[in-house]
Amino acid sequence: MNIHKIAAHLNALGDNSATGMSFDCQPISGEVDVLQITIAEREELPIFVSVTDDQILCITYLWGEDEVKPETRSAMQESMLEMNIPMPLSSFSKIGDKYVIFGALSINSTFNDIEHELAVLSNNAIEVIDDMSEFLI
């Protein structure tokens, strides 16, 4: 499995995906090739997919450290930790000064598995932003 195969599959789905979502995939070349996936009507929350020898990693950036009310940072992080287990197929992390939500799949995952993970991750990102709005500027 590689990002180009994933992109070809998702782009070919059009409006016929099992999730009802329409995906637009753009490969980004670099030291590690990344696939930027935009879901129709959710363009502000692209998902970045990379494929390694061991896993398929899907990441969505949520907000920056500069968008957190300083006095609520600790409470926000505690809330995020508490949400980690009950949130399906996704976990929180921080990359530099950006908070992210991510999911990982086996390298042997099917295209349907990948599509499902992308849909769940996107739904979770929207829900998390709404749930955490009290902590954000």
HSE-CB of 60 using CA atoms within 13 angstroms: 27
| Residue whose C-alpha is closest to residue 34's, from 92, 97, 112, 95 | 95
In CATH terms, the fold of domain 3-135 is Yope Regulator; Chain: A, (3.30.1460)
- pLDDT digits 0-9 by tens, 93-104: 999 999 999 999
User: Mean pLDDT score of the chain, rounded to an integer?
Assistant: 96
Q: How many CB atoms lie within 10 A of CB 113?
A: 13
In the prediction, which pLDDT does 15 show? 82
Residue 16 above 90 pLDDT? no
In the prediction, which pLDDT does 14 show? 85
pLDDT band at 21 (very low <50, low <70, confident <90, very high): very high
* pTM confidence score: 0.95
Q: What Å distances lie between residue 1 and 65, 96, 98, 137, CA to CA?
A: 34, 28, 28, 40
